[in-house]
Amino acid sequence: MCGIVGILGKQPAVPTIIEALRRLEYRGYDSAGVATIENGHIGRRRASGKLDNLVKRVDGEPLSGLTGIGHTRWATHGAPTENNAHPHATENVAVVHNGIIENHEELKQELIELGQVFNSETDSETIVQMVDYHLKQGKTPKEAAYATLQRLEGAYAIAMIFASDENIMIGARHGAPLVVGFGEDEMYLGSDSLAVAPMTRKIAYMPDGVWTVLSHKGAEFFDMDGSTVECPVQTTALMAGAIGKDGYRHYMEKELHEHPVVIGQTLRRFVNPVTHKIELPELPFDIKNLKRGIITACGSAFYAGVIGRYWLEEIARLPIDLDVASEMRYRNPPFDQGGMGLLVSQSGETADTLAALRALKQAGQKIISVLNNEHSSMARESDVVLGMDAGVEIAVASTKAFTAQLTVLACLTLVMGQERGTISSEYADECLTALLDLPSRVAEILQMQEQIQKMAHIISQVQSVIYLGRGIMFPVAMEGALKLKEISYIHADAYAAGEMKHGPIALIDNTVPVISLLPSGPLFEKTLSNLQEAKARGGRILIFTDAKGAERVKNIAEQIVVLPTVHSFVTPPLYTVPVQMLAYEAALLKGTDVDQPRNLAKSVTVE
């Protein structure tokens, strides 16, 4: 969530830090700040709210230091006020921190007794006060930082600068991501590679439990025992141009229009164009004899996992347990050794999913992770990574990454189905052909903006919406409801259509639209019957269906959006796109902040 930028440079650092913080706005934040070394003193500017408020502060009270750190904060401990904003500082040291220091109360009390004076409500200030105390005892910056890090419990990514030496910066990572960038006599820290993309393409991804001392000559890396460790420097393909809006109004709009390309690129990773077969990396178990699997994830990635369970159970006949990651390890389920742990994440850094991964490994499960970041913590700790090719996703609400996740899960399902002998090669070819055709069908939906806007006009005027789906359309309905809540702040719930009469039907009247995802197929008639029940109680029926289905529902629906007719295997990703578009258009009509909805963060690195 929170964003970190650090620069040890040759030019005034603040303008570049501000630019980098703008690239991290997608992570979600509610205050921001910068600190630099100004002629042997700490200079600091902070502001609550959006980054533009910080820019006004800096314009009015400039900072000229060459060494600086910046931060966008998503409040955990303490309200989103200027006083709680980072960097936290004393006259000797300034610190920015992502994560949570779990033993901060114990450390704070200890430091108060030693004479340190706290000025905020945050857990993060414990770090700066402890470093400051050790500096006052005569320790060097490196010694003070190391002594502090040895006392911290919890998750953190940290950057520190010191009034006594503008030629040093210290970073540390435990449970929250941090990267080091290498320039020409300049060094950088960032909470992800996107932060430093325009400055350098030479990146070192810090492993967990490692801290670093940066100077103009480079970086030294140490473990928590103080021993030197190696961190390989990689050349990242990420460029500054990759994060522009390309003429779109919002990043989310741009990313919605990238669905066809992302699905196609992800398929190219796995489909051999010569043999027309899906080729996966070697999996860490015998597919034929695999007895059970578990899928776990958070947010939209969890809904992708629900769809994956439908596919794997129906097509590959593999029993699948399913848990949101924040609950999985607390449920403490029993596992057979050598089972499959399948995790889904856009960032690969989500704290709950990473904790679930570690719990599954400890339980003897073989880990497959579906990720958009193959340099992430989850990637390093997985047995196999199935990488999707979604590119950078800036908007907080996930769109193209979701369909990329589904594309990977679809490929995995077809390979498992064939290996387990549960589907014929002819059926597998049918499904693969439908997958390869999917980008074209999705592109058709992107041209239906006017129809979806009409539906959004209805939605934008109400306070509550119900989404209905049956079978594999149920998790797509959940994704649609989540998107609407996230960016328009309209209350929305999704239900398996057959469950509506067991309670939610009490909510239905002429002020509650009912949105149904209703492709033709075996469950069409049953879902139509559920919609008739809602219609009889005054519900306003809005339907996404295909041409065949449209004929059947025209007498009960207030509005119908007719989607392309496709193979049933690919209906989940296809029907995902219009419900995401609907949320976007409703948010526009409501006038909300589409890319950075309130209270949300892109990569949640605390539990």
Active site members? 2, 602
Helix (H) or strand (E) holding 65: none
User: N- to C-terminal Cα distance for the chain?
Assistant: 11
385 bridge partner residues: 369
Query: How far out from the chain centre does Cα 411 lie?
Result: 22
Q: Is the dihedral of CA 54, 57, 60, 61 positive or negative?
A: negative
* Joined tokens for residue 509: 């009247």
Q: What is the DSSP string of 342-409?
A: EEEESSS--HHHHHHHHHHHHTTPEEEEEES-TTSHHHHH-SEEEE-------SSS-SHHHHHHHHHH
Q: What is the DSSP string of 150-178?
A: TT--EEEEEEEEETTEEEEEEEEEEBS--
* Distances from the Cα of 111 to the Cα of 119, 149, 155, 161, angstroms: 13, 15, 20, 20
Other CB atoms within 10 A of residue 418 CB: 19
Residues 597 and 504: their CA atoms lie apart, in Å, by 27
Residues 388 and 374: their CA atoms lie apart, in Å, by 9
Residues 171 and 211: their CA atoms lie apart, in Å, by 6
